[in-house]
Structure 1
Amino acid sequence: MYLSSLRELALGSRLKALSDHFYQAVDEVYRACGAGIESRWFPVLRFLRDVGPTTVTDVALAIGQTHSAVSQLADRLVDAGMVVRQRDPQDGRRSVLALTDAGERALGALGPVWLAIRRGMAESMGPRGLALLDAIDGCEQALASRPLVAAILDQRAALTREAVQVVPFEPALSEHFRRLNQQWLERYFRVEDVDRALFADPEGMVLAQGGAIFFALYAGEVVGTCALIHEGEGIYELSKMGVDENYRGLGAGRALLDAAIADYRARGGTELFLESNSKLTKALGMYQRAGFVLQPALRPGSHYERADVYMVYQG
């Protein structure tokens, strides 16, 4: 599933989908069994039966929903004849929710249905169901002790103090070389055979031939990469410049470009060129500011079908 690949970023969406699935399944079971309630009514009805007449505020706190949501649900339950609003005998200035006789009868007949729901979920989900319940318990306890918004904003504040770092190739980072470049290639063009060959063996096709690969790190996350490919006789190609589209604006592209140019100079290179495409206007602007000059014609024997721009570094 797509959302699973987004991990924490899509947690709310995934839980919402699971919640809707469970609601729909249990509602279907209630209808099949002739029960007179809906799954979304259950927390309020069960709490009122177990605790007795209670204010909307106390119900909301107990079941973890907003006051507004519980108040709206209470209106539906009143219309359905399951709940009544009445004056609090201990404080006549406020009202409480209480089960009606119809509500009591409806819940009193649901024991076998709830038992079937428990056992059916255990059969359907197996140990994962128990693990999910334990995980939810743990999440609720953790969020109660450390509010989520505060934790996220603290992390955001810490990240504003981070700077992009450029590091050389390591085998453990090889997959990011493919990932980051495949991201922009598939977005704007297509992955060509020459790209696939390079992704399959970056050490053999770049490093072993006298070239280099660099990675941009931001707070430990790999957010960009580029390669300096040795063509022979001091000639180098700046290639495979890719920055994660979610981390634009941090200066990762320019940091990678500067690192590649510095490495080219340290190697005593005599020519540095790149091939690109006119669609990539922002990248072309960055190359020009760094000292690359647009050439009037394509490079003879161009490596790429997509290339319609040829630039040479003049410092």
Structure 2
Amino acid sequence: MYLASLERLALGSRLKALSDQFYGAADEVYRALGAPIESRWLPVLRYLWDTGPSSVTDVADAIGQTHSAVSQLTAKLVRAGMVRRRRDPGDGRRTVLTLTDKAQAALAGLGPIWCAVRRGVNASLGDQASRLLEAVAACEDALRDRPVAAAILAEHTTIVATPLEIVPYAPALREHFYRLNAQWLERHFRIEDVDRAVLGDPERYILRPGGAIFFARLGEDVIGTCALLQESPGVFELTKMGVDETFRGLGAGKRLLDACIAEFHRRGGHRLFLESNSRLTTALRMYEKAGFVMQPTIRPGSHYERADVYMIYQPQA
């Protein structure tokens, strides 16, 4: 499932999709059994049934929805003949919501259906039903203590204030070389045999032949990598660049590219090239700005099936 791959980034969308499934199932059951309500009405109707006449504010606070959302739902319930508005006998300035006789009769007949809902959810989800309810309750408690928007904004402030570092290869970073490259390869293409070999043993295929590997690090997070592979004395390939999509927009790719070009010059290289794919338009623009020039044909003897772009570094004099 695509949304699952986005993890926390799409948490709201996943919960919305899950909520829609439960709403849809309940509505299907209500229709099949002739119950005159809709699933989205239940929180308001059940609260008024259990508590008695209440204001929109009271209902909203109790069921965890906004005042606007409850007001809109109330309007639908009034049109459906399930709820009416009236003045609070104890405070004439205050309007309360109360169930109509129609709603009272409808809810009174739903006992067997609600029992079937509880049993059906348990039959469908098994132990996951209890775990889900516990997790939802824990999330509700956590969000009351620290609203998620405030937490996200605080983390964003920390991220933009954290300096981006470019560091050389170290054995402890080896797994990130594979992870970062595999991430974009699997997203856009596939991991070819040559990728698998190089990514699995960068010391053998890049470092020992005279190459270099750099990483972009943001605090404790390793967010990007790029390699300089020496093909022959003085001839280098810019290769294996990957930036974690979660951290794009921080300039990590440009910083890594600059580090590799600087290392190429430091080693006295006389030719630097790269292979890429025409679909990667953002990366190609970055390479062109750095001084790489598009060649009319693909590189003779290219190792990559996906390569349809060949560029050579030609710095401005």
TM-score by length of 1: 0.85
Structure 2 CA distance for partners of 1:27 and 1:256, relative to 1, 3 Å: same
Deviation at 1:116, TM superposition (A): 0.8
Partner of 1:124: 124
Partner of 2:47: 47
The one-letter amino acid paired with 2:228 is L
Structure 2 CA distance for partners of 1:16 and 1:86, relative to 1, 3 Å: same
Partner of 1:308: 310
> Would you say how many aligned residue pairs link Structure 1 and Structure 2?
308
Partner of 2:272: 273
Distance in 2 (CA, whole Å) between partners of 1:16 and 1:35 is: 25
- Alignment of 1:182 onto 2:185: yes
- Partner of 1:309: helix, strand, or coil? strand
- Partner of 1:308: helix, strand, or coil? strand
The one-letter amino acid paired with 1:182 is L
Deviation at 1:155, TM superposition (A): 1.1
Q: Show structure 1 runs of 5+ residues with no match.
A: none
Deviation at 1:5, TM superposition (A): 0.7
| Aligned residues of 2:295 and 2:309 also touching (Cα < 8 A) | no
Deviation at 1:287, TM superposition (A): 2.4
Structure 2 CA distance for partners of 1:181 and 1:35, relative to 1, 3 Å: closer
Partner of 1:171: 174
Structure 2 CA distance for partners of 1:237 and 1:32, relative to 1, 3 Å: same
Larger mean Cα displacement after TM superposition, 157-166 or 118-127: 157-166
- Partner of 1:76: helix, strand, or coil? helix
- Partner of 1:36: helix, strand, or coil? coil
Partner of 2:138: 138
Query: Per-residue displacement from partner, 1:220-276 (whole Å, max 9, x unpaired)?
Result: 33332211112233433222233345544423223213332454456x444341124
Distance in 2 (CA, whole Å) between partners of 1:311 and 1:185 is: 25
Structure 2 CA distance for partners of 1:313 and 1:237, relative to 1, 3 Å: farther
Larger mean Cα displacement after TM superposition, 63-72 or 5-14: 63-72
| Aligned residues of 1:214 and 1:226 also touching (Cα < 8 A) | yes
Query: Per-residue displacement from partner, 1:270-290 (whole Å, max 9, x unpaired)?
Result: 4341124685542233422xx
Structure 2 CA distance for partners of 1:25 and 1:175, relative to 1, 3 Å: same
Distance in 1 (CA, whole Å) between partners of 2:24 and 2:295 is: 63
- Alignment of 1:36 onto 2:39: no
Distance in 2 (CA, whole Å) between partners of 1:84 and 1:177 is: 59
The one-letter amino acid paired with 1:171 is R
Partner of 1:5: 5
- Alignment of 1:282 onto 2:272: no
Partner of 2:158: 158
- Partner of 2:313: helix, strand, or coil? strand
Deviation at 1:4, TM superposition (A): 0.5
Deviation at 1:103, TM superposition (A): 1.6
Structure 2 CA distance for partners of 1:76 and 1:29, relative to 1, 3 Å: same
Q: Show structure 2 runs of 5+ residues with no match.
A: none
Partner of 1:241: 241
Distance in 1 (CA, whole Å) between partners of 2:121 and 2:248 is: 45
Distance in 2 (CA, whole Å) between partners of 1:297 and 1:88 is: 81
| Aligned residues of 2:254 and 2:286 also touching (Cα < 8 A) | no
Partner of 1:259: 259
- Partner of 2:223: helix, strand, or coil? strand
| Aligned residues of 1:299 and 1:310 also touching (Cα < 8 A) | no
| Aligned residues of 1:181 and 1:240 also touching (Cα < 8 A) | no
Percent identity, please: 53
Deviation at 1:85, TM superposition (A): 1.5
- Partner of 1:282: helix, strand, or coil? helix
The one-letter amino acid paired with 1:273 is L
Query: Per-residue displacement from partner, 1:59-114 (whole Å, max 9, x unpaired)?
Result: 11111112222122222222222222121010112221111222222112211111
